[in-house]
Amino acid sequence: MHFVSDCYYDFIRSISTCRAFPVDGGGKALQFVYGSRRFTTKGGLTATTATTNLYLAQGYKAAVRGIQLPSCSPDEVIFGPDFAESLYCHLLCGLLFAGEVRVVFAMFGHNLALAFEALERVWEELCHDIRRGAPSPARVTSPAVRRAVSALLAAPNPALADEVARRCAGLTDWYGVIPALWPNARYVHTIMTGSMEHYVRKLRHYAGGLPLVAMDYGASEGMVGANVEPEMPPESATFTVLPNTAYFEFIPLKASDDGAACPDASYAEAEPVGLTEVTVGEHYEVVMTTFAGLYRYRLGDVVKVAGFYNSTPKLKFVCRGILTLSINVDKNNEQDVQLAVDTASKILAAERLEVLEYTSHADASSDPGHYVIFWELNAEANDDVLQSCCDELDRAFVDAGYVSSRKTKAIGPLELRVLQPGTFQKVMDHYLSLGAPVNQFKLPRCVAKSNSSVLRILSSSTVKVLFSTAYE
């Protein structure tokens, strides 16, 4: 059932994107995709992620051959044992087929940003590998991966190496690197909604004028909606519900505070309504009953109905409904955190600085408790700029419970911690070491008290600490 539904979904996606961005035959896709570990359950069943299962499925490639471009990378790279090695090889394979690449793809915007940040560091090594016709023995150590990539390299190609080096050296701050190295690419395709919206600015920088196409709305539980207007910018993307992939219901949500960026599950809920009974402009939580056996399963996603496509609603993803930060009577969600970071980042932009990654923590160990925001920046900022950012972060949380609690000192001053470069890579490595799939990895935008390992990484990597003076 999953195989059939995924092929159907790929067909729907292909129609909408190809209509907006026609791709001629014979091209390839630069795909930053990674297989995950498979394990055997106590009952003897093999378990893995849906994406890995799909890529391993017999007949899947043949079924989608007419509607999907083949990957530049061989399966040995996709299912390689080491993430860093596979990432390096994806870049190498992409450069070998540079003229044939029509689409640049990753499951999440985070993975794409990570890939091009890596390219900034290793482009000279990639050129060296192409020039000598063999993959780096230091970068590519897995025998199977090395054999597969060596077969593609085949022979030294100094002309291609020189061309890649010339184009990389000619870039200004890596702006437009994608069309510079892959001139026939038509668009960049990835998930850029929710917590991934943070990466849109970075991806737009790498893409230059190349369109960013928001990938469709799916979950581990099943497909929800397709982006039938792929030409829209990611910030405005809506997803048309696919009514035959599951039985959908929607729980109406009403925030008690009109200023809240995202209604969450602690607010009043009405009885679920059907697919055609939703109201444009209202917020809902998505509920699915699936062919696989889930009955009235709450996804935890908050969406806003933006309109209808014929009789099926078009949804705008708002946020995860799970509460992110709370100390007292305050309630702030992942979108509230993102909006606060975006607001404070404007101060950094004036100094040609940017937030590469961020997360948050509700620290109740002190009295009163307070919010902690962790930032990793692209360069060092002076203390005056950081203090202004810290104050602006504090002011940007406009939830009525937070504001009143700050004014009455029931919540302490917000704390901004600036981290060493590479800290969030350590966080990612930690999760990968626990078996987290790269394709589905999402950096947590709030770190709970129980997640002591990640808190230790963040604390040990802190280089500057500032406290807000916004309410003094």
- Cα 385 to Cα 120: distance, rounded to the nearest angstrom: 27
Beta strand 28-32 with 101-108 is parallel
Write the pLDDT tens digit of every residue in 215-254: 988 887 888 999 988 999 999 999 999 998 899 999 998 7
Mean pLDDT of 92-97: 96
- Cα 218 to Cα 137: distance, rounded to the nearest angstrom: 38
pLDDT given at position 322? 65
**Angle between helical axes of 143-153 and 83-96 (0-180°, round to 10):** 10
pLDDT given at position 3? 46
| Verdict on whether the full-model pTM lies above 0.95 | no
Write the pLDDT tens digit of every residue in 106-154: 988 988 998 999 999 999 999 999 999 999 999 999 999 999 999 999 8
Q: What are phi and psi of 46, to 5 degrees?
A: -85, 130
Percentage of residues of the chain with pLDDT beyond 70: 87
Q: What are phi and psi of 414, to 5 degrees?
A: -60, 140
pLDDT given at position 427? 93
pLDDT given at position 436? 74
Question: For residue 99, what pLDDT band results from cuts at 50, 70 and 90?
Answer: very high
Cα four-point dihedral sign 68, 310, 306, 253:
negative
Count of alpha carbons within 13 angstroms of residue 370, beta-carbon side: 22
| Mean pLDDT over each residue of the chain, to the nearest integer | 87
Write the pLDDT tens digit of every residue in 309-360: 999 999 998 877 666 788 877 888 888 899 999 999 999 999 999 999 999 9
DSSP letters spanning 64-119: HTTTSPPBSS-HHHHT-S-HHHHHHHHHHHHHHTGGGEEEEEEEEHHHHHHHHHHH
The token pair that represents 255 in the structure block: 């925030």
Report which of residues 444 and 385 the model is more confident about. 385
The burial class, CB within 10 Å (0-12 / 13-18 / 19+), for 317 is: buried
Q: What are phi and psi of 213, to 5 degrees?
A: -110, 120
The closest alpha carbon to 266, from 256, 274, 276, 258, belongs to 256
Mean pLDDT of 59-74: 72
pLDDT given at position 1? 43
Question: For residue 30, what pLDDT band results from cuts at 50, 70 and 90?
Answer: very high
- Strand locations in 98-172 (E): 101-108
Mean pLDDT of 417-431: 93
- What pairs with residue 213 in β-bridges? 189
The closest alpha carbon to 326, from 382, 380, 232, 401, belongs to 401
- Single-letter code of the amino acid located at 338: Q
pLDDT given at position 442? 79
Q: Which are the contacts of 85, defined by CB distance < 8 A and separation ≥ 6? A: 139, 140, 141, 142, 145
- Single-letter code of the amino acid located at 92: L
> Lowest-confidence range among 6-20, 319-333, 340-354, 417-431?
6-20
Whose tokens are 């689409």? That residue is 103
The closest alpha carbon to 177, from 236, 121, 237, belongs to 121
For 47, 173, 394, the CA distances from 466, given in Å and listed in that order, are: 45, 29, 12
DSSP letters spanning 302-321: EEEEEEEETTEEEEEEEEE-
Question: For residue 35, what pLDDT band results from cuts at 50, 70 and 90?
Answer: confident
Q: What is the DSSP letter of 323?
A: -
Q: What are phi and psi of 282, to 5 degrees?
A: -95, 160
Percentage of residues of the chain with pLDDT beyond 90: 57
CA 90 to chain centre: 18
Judge whether 106 and 190 are in contact, CB under 8 Å. Answer: yes
Judge whether 178 and 207 are in contact, CB under 8 Å. Answer: yes
Write the pLDDT tens digit of every residue in 242-289: 998 899 999 998 765 554 545 444 456 789 999 999 999 999 999 999
